[in-house]
Amino acid sequence: MAKKQRNPTLPKAFTPAPRATVKDYRTERFVPYIMRAEIGIHEAATIESSINDAAVRHTLHRLIGQLKRGDQIASGAESGDGSDDLIEWRIKDNLAQVFAQDGPISNADLIGCFGVILKSIDTWTGPPLGQRGYLGHLSGFMQQLGVNVRQVTPREAAQMSLEMPEADLRDYDPDVMTFEELGDYWLAHDDDYIDLMDDFSNRAQLEIDQGNAEAVLQVCRALLPRTPNPSQQGELYLHIGVVLRDLGQLEDSVEALQSAIELEDGFYGAMIELGETYFAQGDYRRALKIWQREQKESGNTPTWLDIARACRLLGDLQGEERALRHYIEHHPSSVEALARLANCTRGQRKKRDAEMFALRVVSTLPGDTAWFEDWAHWLRLKREMPGYEPDPLVALEELGQERPTGWVNLLKAVVYDERGNLAAVQRELRTARQDALFAHAEKRYLGA
């Protein structure tokens, strides 16, 4: 006779504790706050058509960081508070309105409301909907609700306190300012003029390109104690970390970039640079980890190329292939990604896939905005195609007739340099110089 089955029971000491309930923010209590935040996002995306889902995600993570630090981003905030981010400004302004109408909510609850929006972005962004999938869905939703966004007159904007304040920039001339003077001006007027941080960053890179990395380092360190603003401090630590890496001080670079990330949640630029420093240290696994985190949070598609690079050096060809395939979902004509996929699949003995990707590269000429590496990949894979054996200079000459571009002259200069024909090198470089678009590339790639 078979034994009767018994229902298994755990000993009392091992009975699991009841699971904590997760707060539901899609309720009547919190929907007005979510709605107002999304109206702000919709307004910003209507004002500036270049805004995409990744920019919205970045802004929400930055706002969550402010809330975690205890900042009151809505209650008591003035409309048009001079934020350096259009999306942030419109979200804050709309939240201030709903706080005045329905009362404030805690920072923890506001973070929960932003979490609902982030989940919606994850649902709607990316293939096949594209980089504005969420924003497109939001626009349709707003139309269904009867929410319309229109351009207002200056008088209406003044009455509604919607004008973004601008600083008096009559005395602002970055061309005559020293780098430190530009930094001081940025710290003092960052809330008044949205381009000052970009001006400072561009000037920092220019100074580095001109061999003044040490001076950039000294100025950024001197500016740090002059601002209590975590966002500005994070930006300064970013520049410090990049310069230290260029100077070979890799441990100090890691420390500076980690400080930048700690100061500003969602600081994806600092995450990418931290990965570059880990990569320079040869710590490819840590580089991979920080890049994967950045990509997951930001949706930044170029990071897939960095992830693929780390996977390759870790010997993970399957991981490299996955990352590159993610990238070409968004950039199907990328010569670099297709060429790397051809190499990667060939390394896995996927001959048919490798031939397919190589054929996609050489079937058309690189676009007008293609870079030097794209033309180099194109030429190499073209030469590797079965039955294609002309002299590379002959091939480049034919290419130049089909698509006149300075890149062809730069590639010819490389070939002539390998053959020791210095006169021909100089001739091709002079030709390339005629197009100002390629002057920077000539300096970067050939050291001219």
* 390-399 pLDDT, tens digit each: 677 777 777 6
Do 138 and 220 belong together in one domain? Answer: no
pLDDT at 173 over 70: yes
Residue 26 domain-assigned (yes or no) = no
Residue 47 domain-assigned (yes or no) = yes
Is residue 128 reached through a cis peptide bond, with omega within 30 degrees of 0 on the bond before it?
yes
Do 215 and 135 belong together in one domain? Answer: no
60 band by pLDDT with thresholds 50, 70 and 90: confident
- Work out the average pLDDT over 289-297: 91
In whole angstroms, how far apart are CA 194 and each of 26, 45, 238? 34, 17, 19
Do 185 and 86 belong together in one domain? Answer: no
Work out the percent of the chain whose per-residue pLDDT is above 90.
25
300-337 residue pLDDT tens: 888 999 999 999 999 999 999 999 999 988 888 788 88
Do 148 and 96 belong together in one domain? Answer: yes
CATH of the domain at 238: 1.25.40.10
Residue 41 domain-assigned (yes or no) = yes
Q: Greater confidence, 3 or 119? A: 119
Residue 398 domain-assigned (yes or no) = no
Residue 98 domain-assigned (yes or no) = yes
Q: Which residue shows structure tokens 């009841």?
A: 18
227-260 residue pLDDT tens: 998 888 999 999 999 999 999 999 999 999 999 9
| Predicted local distance difference test score (pLDDT) of residue 448 | 40
Q: Count helices and strands (H / E) in the chain.
A: 22, 0
CB neighbour burial string for 150-185, b if at least 16 within 10 angstroms, e if fewer? eeeeeeeeeeeebebeebeeeeeebeebebeebbbb
Do 96 and 58 belong together in one domain? Answer: yes
Which of 134, 159, 184 terminates a domain? The answer is 159
Q: Can you tell me the distance from the alpha carbon of 427 to that of 260, in angstroms, rounded to the nearest whole number?
A: 46
Task: Tell me the backbone φ, ψ of residue 130, rounded to 5 degrees.
Answer: 90, -175
Do 56 and 146 belong together in one domain? Answer: yes
| Residue 130: strand pairing partners | 126
Do 54 and 141 belong together in one domain? Answer: yes
Q: How many domains does the chain have?
A: 2
35-49 residue pLDDT tens: 999 998 988 888 887
| Predicted local distance difference test score (pLDDT) of residue 361 | 81
Which of 260, 281, 302 terminates a domain? The answer is 281
* Closest-CA residue to 45 (of 145, 160, 133, 170): 133
Task: Supply 171's token pair.
Answer: 């005395």
Question: Is the Cβ–Cβ distance between 53 and 133 less than 8 Å?
Answer: yes
Q: Say whether pTM exceeds 0.95.
A: no
Q: Which residues contact 165 (CB under 8 A, 6 or more apart)?
A: 80, 82, 191, 192
Residue 92 domain-assigned (yes or no) = yes
Residue 190 domain-assigned (yes or no) = yes
Least confident residue range of 78-87, 107-116, 170-179: 78-87
Do 185 and 91 belong together in one domain? Answer: no
Do 123 and 208 belong together in one domain? Answer: no
25 band by pLDDT with thresholds 50, 70 and 90: confident
Q: Can you tell me the distance from the alpha carbon of 98 to that of 382, in angstroms, rounded to the nearest whole number?
A: 60
Q: Which residue shows structure tokens 């700690």?
A: 262
Summary mean pLDDT of the chain: 78
Do 135 and 208 belong together in one domain? Answer: no
Residue 399 domain-assigned (yes or no) = no
Do 36 and 139 belong together in one domain? Answer: yes
Which of 281, 300, 333 terminates a domain? The answer is 281
Distance of CA 53 to the CA centre of its chain: 11
Q: Can you tell me the distance from the alpha carbon of 54 to that of 87, in angstroms, rounded to the nearest whole number?
A: 12
Find the domain containing 36 and state its range. Answer: 31-159
pLDDT at 166 over 60: no
Do 106 and 214 belong together in one domain? Answer: no
- Work out the average pLDDT over 349-362: 88
391-448 residue pLDDT tens: 777 777 776 666 666 777 878 888 888 788 888 888 888 777 765 344 444 444 444 4
